[in-house]
A and B are shown apart, each in its own frame.
Chain A
Amino acid sequence: MQHMARVSPGDGQTPRPAVEVRGLGHAYDGRDGVVAALADIDLTVPAGQFTVIVGPSGCGKTSLLMMLAGLRTPTSGTIECDGRPIAKPDPERVGVVFQEASLYPWLTAVENVEFPLLLKHTPRDERRARAEQMLKLVGLDGFGGRYPHELSGGMKQRVSIARGLVQDPPVLLMDEPFAALDEQTRMTMGHELLRIWSETSKTVVFITHSLTEAVYLADEVLVMSARPGRILDRVPIDLPRPRTYQMMATDKFGQLRERIWQQIRDMP
């Protein structure tokens, strides 16, 4: 049980969940009055677990992730991360990896990775050392001096992941990080992410449209309904780890994927 390691003595018998969401709701003022984007979300992510959220477009997946990151304020309910509420972005507890275009084009790869530390006024040498270490972790040793436009799509997302991990937060949120990549790169990146995850033992909450990606990566897949988004189903993925590409061809993989697909396909 890898998450047991996180429990400090005297914390009680049960391991503390990394992310705990209770009765979360979100509504906003739309053109036709108040729109409920999310309703009654209850969510517990044990430390060290890889959780994937899938659901139809516009179901509020991104909205949920924004609130987990402290970038958006929920209308109702509570979010706790590492035992304390998330009121505003806290990169030391929660790192975020977005879709493309969130690397700063005027900074080199290593400067992008350093950016969160720069905001915290970490001394230059320490900053650089930590950033180089992170680039090594994501397999980009020696590419630190390149600007984003000199990197491929997959490499850019590796830099984003390095940036999300540079402050060593226990929780990493990922919002469709591989959506803009071609299929082949996407597979490789998924595999790489699992390697990084197993090396760092982070808690990951990952949003995707791809059911194959979801089953391949996850310990547990959460299926969300159309707006207002609710959690319809929790699908434990009991495929052995480390995962291999061959597993995608197994019956078990197909059945899990099918179970998720059945719930999503009839939604608008």
Chain B
Amino acid sequence: MKRPSPPTVRRLIGLALLIAWEAVPRLGLLPELFLPPLSKTLAVLWLDSYIYAAALMVTLYEVAIAMLIACGVGILVGAVVGGVASIRNLMLPVFSSLYAIPIVILYPIFTAWFGIGSESKIAFAGVYGFFPVMLSTAAGIRTIDEQYLLAARSMGATLPQLIARVIIPASIPTVLTGLRLGGALTIIGVVVSEMLTSASGIGYLVTMNRTILDSPRVFAAIIVVLALSVAFDIAVRALERYTMVWQSAGRRMASSSTDTSARLATSASAA
């Protein structure tokens, strides 16, 4: 018998988890307070869809602005820190140490400064997501092959041309890695700060429903956050594929080979 391909196995594991989610509380193995059945959770999500949609809008708005800040400022500062040696030597150790601080400890200060509305979430999540974007942009620019710059200069490139035609395209892969990490941290930052102190958003729904022991509604909110993160990841992957055609050959071959093995697996099981 042929072994099933990794994607098939992944899908099977996912399916098994969903079945367990439904079966375990139904069979009484866990009280419904700890784990409400999947069907009940989805039913609540459907029933309160208006509430969840409104909360999601608030969260999305905060995430969008925070991401703009984290990515925009992160790329700008990263470009300067990565590109200018004197600033890099001065600032990079500082930024690297700041990155190690659990920034969530500063959230109470953010609420004191910006109140408990969206502003404090945006500010907090923006700072939270800023560091990985900034650090990877700096790394991306610093690690550009010297030969690329030399070749461009020999062809008569001016400094603006060097930046636009060589430095930016050469650092895109590393910067995108940072955006992916920074974007994910921004989502975490918004949800966590909503859970800590707020009156709206998905994070608030989690905390509020937990205090009244309404487990299905807590899990429903968790599903929404999961969906948000997965959607973000898919979007970044699509962006990566779009910007990195030139290095996707290896990946393309890999995916086509898994496709073939998947086809082989299905034809084998059909036979």
Contact = CB atoms under 8 A, between A and B. Distances in A.
A91 interface: yes
Given A104-B169, A147-B249, A149-B246, A119 B147 contact: no
Chain B interface residue bracket vs A:
20 to 34
A94 B155 CA distance: 9
Contact of A101 (B145, B154, B172): B145
A98 B246 contact: no
B103 interface: no
Contacts of A163: 155
B65 interface: no
Contacts of B170: 104, 106
A15 interface: no
A232 interface: no
Contact of B154 (A69, A118, A149): A69
A238 interface: no
Interface in B150-193: 150-158, 161, 165-166, 169-170, 172
A258 B145 CA distance: 38
A136 B155 CA distance: 21
A126 interface: no
Contacts of A147: 245-246, 249
A102 B150 contact: yes
A124 B153 CA distance: 21
B246 A106 contact: yes
Contacts of A118: 165
Nearest to B172: A106
| Chain A residues touching B, majority SS | loop
Q: Do most interface residues of chain B lie in helix, strand or loop, or is the interface mixed?
A: helix
B247 to A, nearest CB: 6
B61 interface: no
Contact of B150 (A71, A91, A150): A71
A116 B156 contact: yes
B148 A102 contact: yes
B156 A120 contact: yes
B148 to A, nearest CB: 7
A102 B151 contact: yes
Given A119-B165, A147-B246, A89 B147 contact: no
Contacts of B147: 98-99, 101-102
Contacts of A92: 156
A242 B262 CA distance: 56
A94 B147 CA distance: 17
A104 B246 CA distance: 10
A102 B152 CA distance: 9
A24 interface: no
Contacts of A89: 153-156
Contacts of B166: 104
Given A147-B249, A149-B246, A149-B247, A104 B154 contact: no
A106 B169 contact: yes
B246 to A, nearest CB: 5
12 contacts: A71-B153, A71-B154, A89-B155, A94-B154, A99-B147, A105-B247, A115-B165, A119-B155, A119-B158, A120-B156, A147-B245, A163-B155
Interface of A: 69-71, 89-92, 94, 96, 98-99, 101-102, 104-107, 115-116, 118-120, 147-150, 163
